[in-house]
């Protein structure tokens, strides 16, 4: 086991800590660091031995490529080829920020980073620690979320510690992350571009810049089947997602059923729904229905908190607004859920 090195960043030690983190990355080590989306588990993206450590630390399937984080557009140009005009427009509009672009891969990027693909995912994060770390490292940083594969993504340094203690050389603690869900992934290697994953930047904002955007469903022609086979983003407890506008009665019925079988039930509810339930330590409010940004920020933390409180089942209220980052929240919930209940009128 490696010694745990969790460093709380403040204005006094910011430069020193980023410098030390940069050195660890340059020497082939792993550094967990805050971004505006979730915490990342970083390694030198151009060093195949270092990148391989990420896959092992997370138990990440070896066919799931990594996002490479850069601190400026020039660095993105160094690891790619043939960047289109449209891709530059998106960089100008949304970088630094929660938008990952799939670009043509340059020769310097090793196979292990892209899992052998001829494209590479690139993003410039909007967090001062992340940007300083990349600059200090002097190399682009490959970084998936800093959690054990399949678990909820980490939105605080403590979450990283819970999952990866002993498997990471350094953790830079920058407090709770601001967005709370991962970046939006857009493939710009063809025109029109396609959305591969909803995330921190909403589709509405993307369309303002690029006009046409194909969604995953349109591209593959296959509708997703939520909760059937996915185990992404999942807490230890089973997740039951209740979708619809009027969810109170259904949630009450489900609580009765699960408790009748002796299960400990946790709730993650919108504020409006929570008013119909009795507050207690197993009921968490993740935000108001019309405020998907706050719901995104609290989602993964709430799941981890209820795991600590040892519930067997988590019922999640899906009555929130799916505009903007709300679409990404619903996407993560559908992947985490073992059961989806749609409330019909």
Residues that bind ligand AMP (CB under 6 A): 64-65, 67, 102, 114, 117, 119-121, 144-145, 182, 185, 196-197
Stretches 24-32, 117-125, 140-148, 241-249: which one binds Mg ion (CB under 5 A)?
140-148
**Contact call for residue 35 and Mg ion (CB under 5 A):** no
C-beta of 41 vs 247, nearer to Mg ion: 41
C-beta of 17 vs 43, nearer to ligand AMP: 43
Residue 197 partner contact from Mg ion, ligand AMP, none using kind-dependent CB cut-offs of 5 to 8 Å: ligand AMP
C-beta of 270 vs 328, nearer to Mg ion: 328
Provide the minimum distance between the beta carbon of 103 and ligand AMP in the complex, in angstroms, as a whole number. Answer: 8
C-beta of 145 vs 189, nearer to Mg ion: 145
Chain length of the chain: 345
C-beta of 47 vs 80, nearer to ligand AMP: 80
Residue 121 partner contact from ligand AMP, Mg ion, none using kind-dependent CB cut-offs of 5 to 8 Å: ligand AMP
Provide the minimum distance between the beta carbon of 279 and Mg ion in the complex, in angstroms, as a whole number. Answer: 32
**Contact call for residue 145 and Mg ion (CB under 5 A):** yes
**Contact call for residue 183 and Mg ion (CB under 5 A):** no
Provide the minimum distance between the beta carbon of 293 and ligand AMP in the complex, in angstroms, as a whole number. Answer: 19
Contacts of residue 117, defined as CB under 8 A and 6 or more positions apart, other chains included, come to 65, 105
Binding site for Mg ion (CB under 5 A): 144-145
């Amino acid at each position: 086991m490696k010694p745990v090195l969790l460093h709380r960043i403040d204005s006094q030690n910011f430069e020193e800590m980023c410098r030390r983190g940069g050195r660890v990355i340059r020497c082939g080590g792993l550094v967990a660091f805050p971004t505006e989306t979730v915490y990342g588990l970083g390694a030198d993206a151009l060093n195949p031995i270092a990148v391989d450590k990420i896959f092992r630390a997370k138990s990440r399937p070896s066919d799931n490529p990594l996002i490479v984080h850069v601190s400026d557009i020039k660095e993105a140009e160094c690891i790619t080829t043939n960047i289109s005009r449209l891709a530059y427009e998106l960089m100008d509009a949304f970088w630094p920020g929660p938008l990952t672009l799939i670009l043509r891969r340059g020769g310097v990027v090793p196979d292990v980073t892209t899992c052998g693909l001829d494209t590479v995912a690139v993003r410039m994060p909007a967090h001062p620690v992340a940007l300083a770390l990349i600059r200090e490292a002097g190399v682009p940083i490959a970084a998936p979320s800093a959690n054990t594969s399949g678990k909820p993504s980490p939105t605080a340094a403590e979450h990283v510690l819970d999952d990866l203690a002993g498997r990471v050389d350094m953790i830079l603690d920058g407090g709770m992350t601001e967005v709370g869900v991962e970046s939006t992934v857009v493939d710009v290697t063809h025109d029109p571009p396609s959305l591969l994953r909803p995330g921190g930047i909403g589709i509405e904002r993307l369309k303002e810049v690029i006009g046409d955007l194909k969604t995953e469903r349109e591209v593959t022609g296959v509708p997703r089947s939520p909760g059937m086979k996915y185990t992404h983003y999942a807490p230890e407890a089973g997740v039951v997602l209740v979708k619809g506008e009027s969810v109170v009665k259904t949630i009450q019925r489900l609580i009765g059923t699960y408790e009748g079988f002796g299960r400990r039930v946790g709730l993650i509810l919108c504020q409006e729904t929570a008013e119909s339930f009795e507050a207690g330590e197993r009921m968490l409010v993740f935000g108001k229905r019309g405020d998907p940004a706050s719901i995104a920020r609290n989602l993964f933390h709430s799941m981890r908190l209820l795991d600590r409180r040892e519930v067997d089942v988590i019922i999640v209220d899906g009555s929130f607004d799916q505009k903007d980052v709300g679409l990404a929240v619903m996407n993560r919930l559908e992947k985490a859920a073992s059961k989806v209940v749609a409330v019909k009128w």
